[in-house]
Amino acid sequence: MGYCKCVSVLLDFPVDFFRSLPVTALFPIFLVAFGIQDASKIAMVATAVAFVMIVTASYGVRQAPRTRQKMAQVFGASALQKFRDVVLPEAVGQIVSGMRVSLGTSMVVVIVAEMFIGARFGIGQRLYDAYSINAVEDMYGIVVLVGVLGYILNVLFSQIEKRLIFWSGK
């Protein structure tokens, strides 16, 4: 989408349409399509993060400097070489930002899916069970656990990002 204007024009509306739908409100559709097992939760998470990734990746590709692309073309780079050596390295920062946002989004979707679709195990199910019996202390403990888990995942992701994207200057 970010590399080809005609693809962007063709897909902008569907991507924005589906990105605007709250995936958690669609859980009955996921239940019918995938059943009550983990497949429905996985499909919900994949759907929720796919559109975030599409938007951030296409934006990152669009932001690649045209001057560098033209320079690569002048030096005889093929379209694939230009994309691989110029556009993709420029887009990686946006792609990784989309991954970081998707990490948090996926946690939210999984927890909500566990609460409403049901699970034998899981933080969302534990939170719903605590809510059902009015165990306020347990609810607060689970919320704090989710926050700590999210923080730890974010720190780990940040460390991986620093190692893999060493040229970003972070």
| Mean pLDDT, residues 119-142 taken together | 88
- Percentages of the chain per state (helix, strand, coil), in multiples of 5: 85, 0, 15
pLDDT band at 147 (very low <50, low <70, confident <90, very high): very high
Q: Which domains does the chain have, with CATH numbers?
A: 5-168 (1.10.3720.10)
State residue 97's pLDDT score.
Answer: 87
* Nearest-angstrom CA–CA distance, 73 and 70: 5
**152 pLDDT band (50/70/90 cuts)?**
very high
The structure tokens listed for 13 are 């509306």
The 10s digit of each residue's pLDDT in 62-94 is 888 888 888 888 888 888 888 888 888 888 888
CA atoms of 161 and 159, how far apart (whole Å)? 5
DSSP letters, 144-157, are: HHHHHHHHHHHHHH
